[in-house]
Structure 1
Amino acid sequence: MTLSLDTMGLGVPVVKDARAFYTAAFAATAEDRGRQVSLDLHGTGHLALYGSGALAAEAHTDPAPADGFRGYLMTFVVRWPTEVKNVLLAAVEAGAEVLKPAKKSLFGAFSAVYRAPDGAIWKVAAPNGKDKGQVSRPAVPTETAALLGVSDMAAARSFYQALGMTTDKNYKHYADFHPGPGACRLGLMPRSTLAKDVGVQESGGDGFRAAVLHRGAGSRAEVESTLETAAGAGGRIAVAARETGEGYTGHFADPDGFLWKVTAAQEMP
């Protein structure tokens, strides 16, 4: 069993509005799937948009929204600075709030940070400070990532390693894991450091974060073993595995309370 972030599930006030925003911001294709809208981020991961209340109910958690910083950051990585600017412009035109304008960082990268109308915070980043190749229009990401703000880096890293994830970068204030094919990268950073990086106050955050990370399992047995391993590694089972309209599904929370949904598709008769 190896955990992977196959889809980032976001709870949004109005699914139709969020669908319009994300398709405009990322030039992403969208597919309606009953209670959710699925967006393909150009083969580097998926977004699933739910009504916030429905997402909270599915995870058996209080739907009261978090006040203040939700504790996570989504990242859309492109090749060149002009692509960063273009993605930011598209997001702003669709209703985003700029938290940090597009600019070069101390380490040579180029990035911008914005808050989407649904409240999720996104960073658009390029590893280079200057365009050194052809600019893609629309911008196509090289990868997407979810960065979680955690209270104890060592404990959080050990938790995800116990679930089969392989560490890629491992520093005092940052760690991440090798992503699976077509999946989002998962990263960890101290919560206070992450809040500073995105330009918001660390305070607040109590309540539903309007985010559930998704893993597609290959079998019912894998769903159950993933939940059991998570509970044994310092997390907890939030919702026991059961049959749902999507398949055989369970939820667990990591040591910092970030929720994961693990689903094995329904078996064909």
Structure 2
Amino acid sequence: MTLSLDAMGLGVPEVEDARTFYTTTFAPTADDRGRHVNLDMHGTGQVALYGTEALAADAGKDAEPASGFRGYMMTFIVKQPTEVKNVVDAAVQGGAKVLKPAKKSLFGAFSAVYQAPDGSIWKVAAPTKKDKGPAASPAVPTETAALLGVADMKAAKAFYEALGMKVDKDYKHYADFHPDAGSCRLGLMPRGTLAKDAGVEDGGSGFRAAVLHRRAGSRAEVDTTLAAAAASGGLIAVEAGETGDGYSGHFSDPDGFLWKVTAA
């Protein structure tokens, strides 16, 4: 059993509006799947768009409107600074709010942060401060990641390692795990540090409108993953059973981030 972030499920007010925003901003391949829209981020993981109330109900949660910082930030890594600017410009034209304008930075070399119309926060970054050639259009990411703000880095790392994830980078205020091919990278930062990096105040309440997805290979793997999460300090949010998506269940990590594990 190895946990991987196969898709980041985002709760949005209107799925079709969100589909328009994300396809215009990132140019992913969109796949309508009945209750949600799946976006393939150019082979670097997937983003799944759900109605917020449907996402909350599926996870056994109340869809209390989120206020303040939701505790996570998505990142979209491209190759060059001009590609950062182009992605952010497209997001702003679609209704996003810039939280940090595009500029040179120590972490990420060149980056910008914006808040999408659905409330999720995205950081777009390039590893270099200068272009080294023509900018790709559309920008093709080298990586898509979800960064989770956690209370205790050591405990959070231990939890995910217990579920089979392998630490890649490990610093005092940042750690991440090796992503499987075609999946998103998962990263951890102290919550206050992540809020500062996002350009927002720490503190928030309500449903986070986000559920991390693992697509398991079998029903047995669903059961094993849920059992491992519970034994390692997580909580079972929804017991495994037959659903409209197949056989699935939900757990939350020690910081309350929800995961859905599904076998089609």
What TM-score does the superposition give when structure 2 sets the normalisation length? Answer: 0.99
- Contact 2:29–2:39 (Cα < 8 Å) also in 1: yes
User: What are the superposed Cα offsets for residues 24-46 of structure 1, whole Å, 9 maximum, x if unpaired?
Assistant: 00011211111101111111011
Shift of residue 15, structure 1, vs aligned partner: 0.5
Aligned-partner Cα distance in 1 for 2:68–2:123: 18
Range with bigger deviation, 84-93 or 104-113: 104-113
Amino acid at match of 2:16: K
Alignment pair present for 1:66 and 2:66: yes
Runs of 4+ displaced beyond 4 Å: none
Shift of residue 105, structure 1, vs aligned partner: 0.4
Aligned pair count reads 264
Aligned-partner Cα distance in 2 for 1:239–1:203: 26
- Contact 2:77–2:126 (Cα < 8 Å) also in 1: yes
Aligned-partner Cα distance in 1 for 2:76–2:160: 22
Partner of 1:217: 216
Amino acid at match of 1:85: K
Amino acid at match of 2:244: G
Alignment pair present for 1:207 and 2:211: no
SS in 2 for 1:124: strand
What TM-score does the superposition give when structure 1 sets the normalisation length? Answer: 0.97
CA separation of 1:218 and 1:107: change in aligned 2, threshold 3 A: closer
CA separation of 1:108 and 1:165: change in aligned 2, threshold 3 A: closer
Aligned-partner Cα distance in 2 for 1:56–1:115: 21
User: What are the superposed Cα offsets for residues 2-32 of structure 1, whole Å, 9 maximum, x if unpaired?
Assistant: 0000000000001110000000000112111
CA separation of 1:235 and 1:120: change in aligned 2, threshold 3 A: same
CA separation of 1:108 and 1:149: change in aligned 2, threshold 3 A: closer
Partner of 1:151: 151
Partner of 2:38: 38
Aligned-partner Cα distance in 2 for 1:106–1:244: 45
User: What are the superposed Cα offsets for residues 195-238 of structure 1, whole Å, 9 maximum, x if unpaired?
Assistant: 0001000022x211000000000110000000000001110111
Identity between Structure 1 and Structure 2 (%): 74
Equivalence map 1:190-205=2 (5 Å): 190-204=190-204
User: What are the superposed Cα offsets for residues 233-261 of structure 1, whole Å, 9 maximum, x if unpaired?
Assistant: 11011100000111100000000000000
Equivalence map 1:48-197=2 (5 Å): 48-107=48-107, 109-197=109-197
CA separation of 1:21 and 1:232: change in aligned 2, threshold 3 A: same
Give unmatched runs, 5+ long, in structure 2: none
